[in-house]
């Protein structure tokens, strides 16, 4: 069975500071990895995904994530955050060939001026 | 349509009643997913359709939950004899193909409250 652990439930940062949201997963097979973002009063939106190849993937809004197979991690980073990045971020994993994904419980990123 | 549409956006029902939640996916998306999100938690998988058939219904919690997609487009999630524990946001998502590698486009969800 798969599981996803988002290590921080809340991350407060100041505007223009760097941020890292941590995600660890467990799975017995090869996986796809995703980050979704949910802005206030909006639906979940795909931020980026890792399928294969380069372990560093770039997404929308300047975010990037690095797949580390040995550490079973997929941490999300941004070098300089904006107030508008305030949102809930969800990490998700899916077995290759499967349709469903398993989500973490989310990390609330709050960017303060 | 331009996005995934879910109706109603909010539904309040009494314990024991029957409810139907509707999802209209993006035109041309063959795969449709239902997830449930409780407060403070991430989305939890319920069922996944590829075309008209349920490809994976392993997440349905019990036989009170049922979903259909008769024409391969709109889907309805049906909950019988609702219980207070069914209260959650029910999310629908669609994707162009059947694998998770495509990523999902989510709707805004239906907030179900059972009183």
Is A44–B91 a contact, with Cβ atoms under 8 angstroms apart?
Answer: yes
Tell me the pLDDT tens digit for each residue of A36-72: 999 988 899 999 999 988 999 999 999 999 999 999 9
Mean pLDDT of all residues in B6-33: 96
Local confidence band at A99 (pLDDT 50, 70, 90 cut-offs): confident
User: Could you tell me which of B5, B23, B8 has the C-alpha nearest to residue B71?
Assistant: B23
Is B99–A97 a contact, with Cβ atoms under 8 angstroms apart?
Answer: yes
Residue A95: which residues within 8 A CB-CB, separation 6 or more? A2, A27, A29, A30, A31, A32, B100
Q: What is the pLDDT of residue B2?
A: 78
pLDDT at B44 over 90: yes
Tell me the pLDDT tens digit for each residue of A14-32: 999 999 999 999 987 888 9
Q: What is the pLDDT of residue A97?
A: 78
What residues in chain A have their Cβ under 8 A from chain B's Cβ atoms? Answer: 4, 32, 34, 36, 42-46, 49, 51, 90, 92, 94-106
Mean pLDDT of all residues in B13-17: 98
CA neighbours within 13 Å on the CB side: how many for B21?
A: 33
Q: Which of A100-104, B1-5, B24-28, B92-96 has the lowest mean pLDDT?
A: B1-5
The residue of chain B with its CA nearest to that of A104 is B42
pLDDT at B57 over 60: yes
Across the A/B interface, how many CB contacts are shorter than 8 Å? 68
pLDDT at B1 over 70: no
pLDDT at A81 over 90: yes
**What distance in Å separates residue B14's CA from the closest CA in chain A?**
26
**What distance in Å separates residue B88's CA from the closest CA in chain A?**
14
Q: What is the pLDDT of residue B75?
A: 98
Q: What is the pLDDT of residue B87?
A: 98
CA distances for A51 relative to A19, B54, B72, angstroms: 23, 24, 27
Q: Which residue has the higher pLDDT, B104 or B98?
A: B104
In angstroms, the CA A91 to CA B23 distance is: 24
Tokens linked to A80: 């300089």
CA distances for A30 relative to A69, A98, B106, angstroms: 10, 11, 24
pLDDT at A101 over 90: yes
Contacts of A96 in chain B (CB under 8 A): 101
């Amino acid at each position: 069975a798969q599981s996803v652990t988002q290590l921080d439930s809340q991350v407060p940062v100041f505007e223009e500071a760097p941020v890292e949201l941590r995600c660890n997963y467990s799975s017995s097979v090869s996986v796809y990895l995703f980050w979704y973002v949910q802005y206030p009063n909006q639906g979940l939106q795909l931020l980026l995904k890792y399928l294969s190849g380069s372990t560093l993937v770039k997404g929308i809004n300047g975010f990037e994530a690095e797949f580390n197979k040995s550490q079973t991690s997929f941490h999300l980073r941004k070098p300089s955050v904006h107030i508008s990045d305030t949102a809930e971020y969800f990490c998700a994993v899916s077995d290759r060939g499967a349709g469903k994904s398993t989500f973490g419980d989310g990390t609330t990123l709050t960017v303060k001026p | 349509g331009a996005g995934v549409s879910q109706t109603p956006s909010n539904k309040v029902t009494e314990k024991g009643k029957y409810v139907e939640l509707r999802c209209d996916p993006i035109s041309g998306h063959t795969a449709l997913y239902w997830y449930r999100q409780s407060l403070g938690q991430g989305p939890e998988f319920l069922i996944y359709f590829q075309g008209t058939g349920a490809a994976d219904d392993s997440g349905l919690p019990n036989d009170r939950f049922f979903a259909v997609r008769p024409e391969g487009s709109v889907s309805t999630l049906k909950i019988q004899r609702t219980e207070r524990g069914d209260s959650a946001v029910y999310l629908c998502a669609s994707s162009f193909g059947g694998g998770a590698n495509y990523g999902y486009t989510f709707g805004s969800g239906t907030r179900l409250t059972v009183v």
